[in-house]
Amino acid sequence: MTPAGEIHIELMHRAGRVDSVTIASTRPEAARVLVDKTPEQVLSMVPLLFSLCGNAQAYAALLACRAALGLAAEPVADAAREGLVQLEAVREHAWRILLDWPALLGQPADKAAMATLLKLDRQFKACLFVDGEAFSLDSRLLINVPGFNGLIAELTDLIDRAIFGGGLGRFLAITDAAQLLDFVAGNTGLAAQLLNALYQRDWLALGNSSVACLPELEYAELHQQMHNADLSAFCLAPQWQGRCYEATPLSRQQAQPLIAELQSRYGRGLLVRFVAVLLEVTAIPKHVAPPTRATVGGAGGVGLAQVQAARGLLIHRLALRQGRVYDYRIVAPTEWNFHPDGVLAQGLKALQATDADDLRRQAEWLIQAVDPCVAYRVTLHKQ
């Protein structure tokens, strides 16, 4: 195990029926490295610290620093930054789809497509900001519209070929469950193969959980909760008003008519989760600058920012004293979703497998659907 830590998931079962679930994390509290630094130093360090969701982390840090310093918002630049965060979400989802979904289907990963996508992703910042410096206090916009649009076209083409077998247009036109089933039956792309496997195995509702989606958190309420909370405990295992919530792509997509219909039929199981991810992968390149739900605020040297990262809500909160960070906290979506009593734990408890091998397979699919941002390990214990 490396210093990045991991999530260890243990299932206690009898002949494939789960009795109890334990989820433990050895991930370090990385934000402590930012204590005693100036806001400028924080903003130069954050991109070095995080390999995944680097844009979301850097944007949340920028918003929190700006709020703590009492600096004004930058509407146009922030719209460009939000676009970068959303494009990063496509990259993060594509990682799972191209490298991990084939493994679920017993196929080799599509490393070539992922390598191409990573190369494209690195070029977006340079099309929007001078020297690609998007997340510093003195970033300057320099929008290269033809270059940006060219990258979006390449990204869309790649997604069409690698994920939808040339059927992206057809997938985008789906509005109800019957059309989804038609698409799955008539397409040979990776997405259709994965969804088809769910239909074939009757796993559409697998891992259904009653844990609700996290509502939009008002700045003042979140500020108050974090002000009064044991912050270390909150960052490791966050709850809102005493309850666990899920903060996933499904939380963002649940109002979509297709998702609402699928959810009413199959609950919040595997089908609705995988379709929510596919909706984001297809919608973001098409509408790359929609309004964001990022909320920000600050007072008395405290800055608080919420950004929708690929896997769900990301919170940064910092407190400044004499121009330096006195306290810095980060609450990542994985902490909500892999909470010991959260959506994954509840979904795992609902699994009903025929034996240990089947249980492990089902658990792997559900974990991939909820999507942790770090390495994980699953151990089964027979009761």
Partner 1 sequence: MCLALPAQITDIDFTTQMAIASVDGVKVEVSLALVDDVKVGDYVLVHVGYALNKIDEEEALKTLALFAEAGLTAS
Taking CB under 8 A as the criterion, the residue among 12, 49, 212, 380 binding partner 1 is 49
Work out which of 8, 32, 349, 361 binds partner 1, going by CB under 8 A. 32
Do residues 282 and 172 touch, judged by C-beta distance below 8 A?
yes
Identify residues 109-168 at the interface with partner 1 (CB under 8 A).
111-112, 114-115, 118, 122
Nearer to partner 1, 344 or 351 (CB): 344
**Other beta carbons less than 10 A from residue 326's beta carbon:** 13
Query: Which position among 99, 126, 229, 378 is part of the footprint of partner 1 (CB under 8 A)?
Result: 99
Between CA 24 and CA 344 the distance in angstroms is 12
Query: Do the beta carbons of residue 211 and residue 342 sit within 8 Å?
Result: yes
Please pick, from the candidates 13, 27, 223, 273, the single residue that binds partner 1 as defined by CB under 8 A.
Answer: 27
Q: Which is nearer to partner 1, 37 or 349 (CB)?
A: 37
Q: How far apart are CA 46 and CA 240, in angstroms?
A: 26
Q: Please list every residue from 289 through 318 that binds partner 1, using CB under 8 A.
A: 314
Binding status of residue 52 toward partner 1 by CB under 8 A: yes
Shortest CB 314 distance to partner 1, Å:
8
Of the CA atoms within 13 Å of residue 72, those in its CB half-sphere come to: 4
Tell me, residue by residue from 333 to 352, as one string, x for binding to partner 1 by CB under 8 A and - for no binding.
-xx-----------------
- How many angstroms separate the most distant Cα atoms in the chain? 63
Q: Of the listed pieces 163-171, 186-194, 257-265, 327-335, which binds partner 1 according to CB under 8 A? A: 327-335
28 part of the interface to partner 1, by CB under 8 A: yes
Verify binding: residue 71, partner 1, rule CB under 8 A.
no
Q: Least CB distance from residue 100 to partner 1, whole Å? A: 9
Options 30, 104, 205, 356; binder of partner 1; rule CB under 8 A: 30
Q: Do 126 and 132 meet the contact criterion of CB atoms below 8 Å apart?
A: yes
Phi, then psi, of 124 in degrees rounded to 5: -60, -45
CB-CB neighbours of 340 under 10 Å = 14
Q: Please give the Cα distance from 255 to 223 (Å, whole number).
A: 26
Q: Choose the stretch contacting partner 1; rule: CB under 8 A; options: 51-59, 194-202, 209-217, 268-276.
A: 51-59
Q: Which is nearer to partner 1, 64 or 77 (CB)?
A: 64
CB 66 to partner 1: min, Å: 21
Q: Which is nearer to partner 1, 222 or 310 (CB)?
A: 310
| Count of residues in contact with partner 1, rule CB under 8 A | 34
Using the contact rule CB under 8 A, the part of the chain among 22-30, 142-150, 168-176, 350-358 near partner 1 is 22-30
Q: Give me the long-range contacts of 340-344 (CB less than 8 A, separation at least 24).
A: 340/22, 340/23, 340/24, 340/237, 341/244, 342/23, 342/211, 342/244, 342/245, 342/246, 343/209, 343/211, 343/244, 343/245, 343/246, 343/248, 343/268, 343/370, 344/9, 344/23, 344/370
| C-beta of 237 vs 279, nearer to partner 1 | 237
Which position among 79, 213, 374, 380 is part of the footprint of partner 1 (CB under 8 A)?
Answer: 374
30 CB-near residues (< 8 Å, 6+ apart) = 49, 50, 330
Measured between alpha carbons, how far apart are the two ends of the chain, in Å? 27
Positions in the binding site for partner 1 (CB under 8 A): 1-5, 27-28, 30, 32-33, 45, 48-54, 57, 99, 111-112, 114-115, 118, 122, 314, 330, 332, 334-335, 373-375
